[in-house]
Amino acid sequence: MGLDNGTAFLRVSDPENPVLVGRLPTQTRSSTWRDIKVYMNHAFIVADSAGAHGMQVFDLTRLRTGGTDQRFEADTVYDSFDSAHNIAIDESSGFAYVVGSETCSGGLHIVNISDPLNPFSAGCHGTEGDVHDAQCVRYAGPDTDYTDAEICFNASETSIAIVDVSDKSATQTLAVLSYSNLGFTHQAWLDDSHQYLVVNDEADEIEFEKNTATIVIDVRDLNAPIHLYTHQHQTRSIDHNLFVRGNRIYEANYTAGLRILEFSDLASDTLREVAFFDTYPENNDRRFDGAWGVYPFFPSGIIAVSDVDRGLFIVIPE
């Protein structure tokens, strides 16, 4: 879990009694923004507005000693950039995609992490300018022109950009898409079939004074994505991060907390809220308080929610 002053590692095998195993301090200074992804038992950590932080690499097998509240140092630091907002990893290829750094025009700074402790630069993609977040996958959707290609779906602040990064020295933008009531394209995630992209916008609720919005894009043709619809929630809170697993969307929606939406067919607006856990019960106002992140991929079914104000929550749907 990212903290302003570093990274915390917690054992959640007993979800009712999580244990702090240890902490990895920030490489430089405190930062509100810290992002962690995992590949081959290693954590890759970046921080925004943190000076020459680079990318910390930490061997997670070091957590298996049975100790608690330990203090760690990074196993290595990749220093070809200083500050970065986020990092995406395609586990099928062994490449990391650092975004929002001072390099690559704020776009994809591509790092080969196939040997986690010896990362090296593999290329750049900066055509669309600042990228805030990305999901990069081995494509397995219906567009047969790109079967098995490595595709990144970039939340590029003012658009969704679809990029073929199969050739790291010659990346190619396939499409750039806007949508109605665009404020700040913050993050996006594919459904399991790679047919639809679910998007959150961090500024539309404020700029257009509308309720929480979840945006669905048809990406069955990677060269011609289509904005299908925008689902309106009953709450008015800002949405921040979301993930799709099966037929459910798990959203960390700031003051409205965790919201779980279920769908029967993403081609039309069949989304309905089936569960929620409000980590910030004071209100559902359009404020930057409350739930910031959600992780719904534990095999056990537990869900981890990180709250800006109150820390870690572990929940399970009834």
Structure confidence at residue 318 as a pLDDT band (50, 70, 90): confident
Rounded to a whole number, what is the distance in angstroms from the first to the last CA of the chain? 25
Q: List, for residues 149-183, the tens digit of each pLDDT value.
A: 999 999 999 999 999 999 999 999 999 999 999 99
| Same domain (yes/no): 98, 227 | no
| Same domain (yes/no): 188, 119 | no
Contact in structure between 250 and 262 (CB atoms under 8 Å): no
Structure confidence at residue 11 as a pLDDT band (50, 70, 90): very high
- Whether 147 is in a domain gets the answer no
C-alpha span between 16 and 44 (Å, rounded): 27
Q: List, for residues 280-308, the tens digit of each pLDDT value.
A: 999 999 999 999 999 999 999 999 999 99
The sign of the dihedral angle between the CA atoms of 66, 67, 68, 73 is: negative
pLDDT of residue 179: 96
pLDDT of residue 136: 98
Q: How many domains does the chain have?
A: 2
| Same domain (yes/no): 96, 190 | no
- Whether 170 is in a domain gets the answer no
Q: List, for residues 231-269, the tens digit of each pLDDT value.
A: 999 999 999 999 999 999 999 999 999 999 999 999 999
Query: Could you tell me what percent of the chain has a pLDDT over 90?
Result: 99
| Same domain (yes/no): 119, 192 | no
Average pLDDT rounded to a whole number, residues 17-40: 97
Structure confidence at residue 194 as a pLDDT band (50, 70, 90): very high
* Among 129, 157, 190, residue at a domain's last position: 129
Amino acid at 209: E
pLDDT of residue 84: 98
| Same domain (yes/no): 186, 315 | yes
Structure confidence at residue 68 as a pLDDT band (50, 70, 90): very high
CATH number, position 274: 2.130.10.10
Structure confidence at residue 25 as a pLDDT band (50, 70, 90): very high
- Whether 157 is in a domain gets the answer no
| Same domain (yes/no): 57, 183 | no
Would you say residue 186 has pLDDT above 90? yes
Q: List, for residues 134-151, the tens digit of each pLDDT value.
A: 999 999 999 999 999 999
- Whether 140 is in a domain gets the answer no
Amino acid at 108: L
DSSP 170-227: S-EEEEEE--TT-S-EEEEEE-TTSSEEEEEESSHHHHS----EEEEEE-SSTTS-EE
| Domain extent at residue 97 | 1-129
Q: What value does the mean pLDDT of the chain take?
A: 97
